[in-house]
């Protein structure tokens, strides 16, 4: 399956279909037309789970489980096995063998400043498959090269393997090394790390301990499944009861350093996908909006629109740039934008040139 293309992101095993792979966001047959039967996927699931008792219990009791899997000398995978219509289905996310770096991901230069932060919270958000793990891995790798820290990661499961460089990097996996993010994060406060990576902010307890860690001199990095920076703040605040939300906003406004949101968008030339990245940075203005809440003319999006001098950028501005540079198709860019109507107005001149290529020449 991996030989079909070097750009495979996921492998799929589903009863009633042959094995499929995802390439640049599209499902493609994996070289065989043999349809998988329920017994086939059950056997594949059993092989992937092996002797992982926790995964077996979760699959039986909860209907799904997460495991990691390695092919010696080849790739590692993040695996989710789940029940559907009484049968097993499997999705295997391909994890590149090499830890990505800033250059290979073409990340904004502003994000390199994270390496020099001494404390606070950095969040990378976006839908599943938007490249959050790769961005965090690149940041951790840069810290590993340039700083001399103890770095601790808590992941479900461990994805990129970070060798010790200038830093000591300890990686703990949920279920095999620790029963929960919250317990591992609480223990981390006694393990003298400078940097803590939490795979995901899943619940109130994890958020509370992460905030405590950031407030006590640690740099905490994590992910959330939210669509943009504004929704990320609302998601965190919304986890807490109404009576506690004002206090939480105050704490979050002081502890957050960056909220980075990502969307992977198909390129115009069909050669892959490009990341559109939104960056919300902690400034006097953004801290005020997080603490007091957004209002008319005082939104985090407004702050990002006028915050380019501080290194901020917003989705629609980045999508507009990519469309004008010919990286994205106009219709595709609009489909992935936050506000298609406003973006269409911003691109009115560009759309007119596309409709009438002689327009620009005659105007000249």
Q: Which domains does the chain have, with CATH numbers?
A: 2-95 (3.30.450.90), 102-313 (3.40.50.300)
pLDDT confidence bin for 357, thresholds 50/70/90: low
d(CA 196, CA 211): 12
- What are the Cα distances from residue 174, in Å, to 9, 17, 35, 64, 269? 23, 31, 34, 15, 40
Minimum mean pLDDT range among 64-68, 83-87, 275-279: 64-68
273-276 LR contacts (CB < 8 Å, sep 24+): 273/24, 273/25, 274/322, 274/327, 274/328, 275/105, 275/106, 275/130, 275/131, 276/315, 276/318, 276/319, 276/322, 276/336
CA dihedral sign, ordered 60, 64, 70, 74: positive
Q: What is the pLDDT of residue 176?
A: 83
Say if residue 98's pLDDT is above 90: no
d(CA 202, CA 347): 38
Residues pairing with 263 in the sheet: 276
d(CA 45, CA 146): 41
Say if residue 5's pLDDT is above 60: yes
Q: What is the pLDDT of residue 175?
A: 81
Find out whether the peptide bond into 157 is cis, omega within 30 degrees of 0: yes
pLDDT confidence bin for 25, thresholds 50/70/90: confident
* Mean pLDDT value across the chain: 93
What are the tens digits of pLDDT across the range 126-165?
A: 998 899 999 999 999 999 999 999 999 999 888 899 999 9
Q: What is the pLDDT of residue 294?
A: 94
Q: Chain-centre distance of CA 364, in angstroms? A: 45
Q: What is the pLDDT of residue 297?
A: 86
Q: What's the pTM?
A: 0.87
DSSP label of 327: S
What 3-state DSSP class applies to 274? strand
pLDDT confidence bin for 122, thresholds 50/70/90: very high
Say if residue 359's pLDDT is above 70: no
Q: What is the pLDDT of residue 323?
A: 97
């Amino acid at each position: 399956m991996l030989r079909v293309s070097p750009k495979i992101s996921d492998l799929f095993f589903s009863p009633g279909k042959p094995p499929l792979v995802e390439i640049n966001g599209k499902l493609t047959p994996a070289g065989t037309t043999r349809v998988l039967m329920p017994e086939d996927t059950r056997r594949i699931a059993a092989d992937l789970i092996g002797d992982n008792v926790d995964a077996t219990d979760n699959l039986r009791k909860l209907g799904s489980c997460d495991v990691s899997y390695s092919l010696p000398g080849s790739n590692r995978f993040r695996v989710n096995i789940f029940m559907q219509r009484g049968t097993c289905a499997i999705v295997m996310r391909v994890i590149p063998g090499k830890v990505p770096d800033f250059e290979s991901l073409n990340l904004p230069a502003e994000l390199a400043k994270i390496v020099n932060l001494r404390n606070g919270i950095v969040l990378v958000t976006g839908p599943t498959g938007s490249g959050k793990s790769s961005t965090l891995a690149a940041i951790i790798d840069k810290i590993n090269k340039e700083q001399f820290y103890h770095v601790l990661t808590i992941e479900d499961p461990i994805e990129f393997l970070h060798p010790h460089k200038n830093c000591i990097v300890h990686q703990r996996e949920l279920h095999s090394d620790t029963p929960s993010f919250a317990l591992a994060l609480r223990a981390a406060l006694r393990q003298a790390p400078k940097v803590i990576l939490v795979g995901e902010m899943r619940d109130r307890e994890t958020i509370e301990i992460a905030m405590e860690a950031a407030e006590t001199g640690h740099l905490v990095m994590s992910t959330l499944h939210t669509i943009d920076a504004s929704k990320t703040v609302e998601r965190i605040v919304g986890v807490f009861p109404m009576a506690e939300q004002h206090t939480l906003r105050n704490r979050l406004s002081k502890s957050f350093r960056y909220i980075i949101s990502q969307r992977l968008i198909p390129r115009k030339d069909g050669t892959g996908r490009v990341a559109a990245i939104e960056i919300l940075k902690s400034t006097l203005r953004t801290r005020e909006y997080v603490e007091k809440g957004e209002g008319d003319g005082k939104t985090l999006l407004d702050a990002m629109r006028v915050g380019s001098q501080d290194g901020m950028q917003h989705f629609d501005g980045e999508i507009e740039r990519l469309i004008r540079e010919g990286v994205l198709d106009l219709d595709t860019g609009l489909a992935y934008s936050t506000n298609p109507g406003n973006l269409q107005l911003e691109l009115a001149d560009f759309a007119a040139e596309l409709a009438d290529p002689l327009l620009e020449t005659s105007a000249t």
